[in-house]
Amino acid sequence: LEEQIRRSDRLKTIGQIAAGTAHEIRNPLTAIKGFMQLLNKALTDRSMSKEQKFVGIVLSELERVNELVSEFLLLSKPKEIKRVPLRIGQVLQEILPMIRNEALMYNVTVLYYPKPELLPILADKELLKQVFLNLGKNAIEAMVGGGTLIIRECSHPDEPNKIAVEICDTGTGIEADVLEKVFDPFFTTKSQGTGLGLSVCQRIVHDLGGSIEVSSDVEGTQFTVCLSYASGELEQELKASGGERSPDD
Ligand code: ADP
Ligand code: MG
């Protein structure tokens, strides 16, 4: 047991160092990106297209490092979660333009089925956006050559105090042996993947008291995110903030 405690302490320390390092990588990265963008503009003005191509590559690789560091930070040192009343539709509406944009490049059709009568949930909007962006991106990346991405809001079939959001794709599907590992940090089957997207999603959803599940077959994959209304908490929150429920709540 003592050995186990030592081991877990050591892992915690390593985690803290890694998170600190990731944070420190961020600052120079931002500076590099800024100057690269300036360089890019200068090259455009001088019509130096070959050099511009090089800078373009540097910028897109920088974007990859940036993404990795952001996901790593989210995973190792979760921000304090601010839970405020919000509608799931609001969260999805805000990320849809980004999803549709990505879908366009992959020849993917996006179908969104909102359910406006769903009650508000208590959650952190930015974190939830991250969850559905990651799920949407994965779904699109699984549909090389095109397909359909369906985003559906529903009430939970069995639990009346929960909502569910389904993200379905008509992509490659996930083999059973891979399916077990998709939520593992750094697990990826993509040459350019970080393998952190789904572990970040899982972490956030669990921190919000929800659940995330996956099912897959040869026709495609479905991720389901469930979150509670937490209506009692919501009433309290609204009372504390002096707010009132509007008639349509
Ligand atoms: P990354 O996208 O960087 O590979 P993720 O954690 O987001 O990391 O996903 C891990 C792995 O799970 C992916 O590499 C892929 O093999 C699998 N996966 C996730 N979502 C899907 C999906 N919608 N369809 C098929 N495979 C998926
Ligand atoms: Mg991903």
pLDDT in tens, 11-51: 777 777 877 888 889 889 999 999 999 999 999 999 999 99
Q: Is the CB of 193 under 6 A from ligand 1?
A: yes
Question: 99 CA to middle of ligand 1, Å?
Answer: 16
Q: Which atom of ligand 1 is nearest to the CA of 223?
A: 23
Dihedral sign computed on CA atoms, order 71, 87, 209, 215:
negative
Q: Is the CB of 139 under 6 A from ligand 1?
A: yes
pTM over 0.90: no
Per the CB < 8 A criterion, the answer to whether 204 and 74 are in contact is yes
Question: 110 CA to middle of ligand 1, Å?
Answer: 19
In the prediction, which pLDDT does 233 show? 59
In the prediction, which pLDDT does 240 show? 63
In the structure, how many helices (H) and strands (E) does the chain have?
A: 7, 7
pLDDT reading at 166 higher than 90:
yes
Average pLDDT, the chain: 88
CA gap 96, 48 in Å, rounded: 36
Stretch 200-208: mean pLDDT = 91
Please tell me the number of the ligand nearest to residue 219's CA: 1
In the prediction, which pLDDT does 30 show? 92
Q: Which atom of ligand 1 is nearest to the CA of 169?
A: 23
Question: 144 CA to middle of ligand 1, Å?
Answer: 13
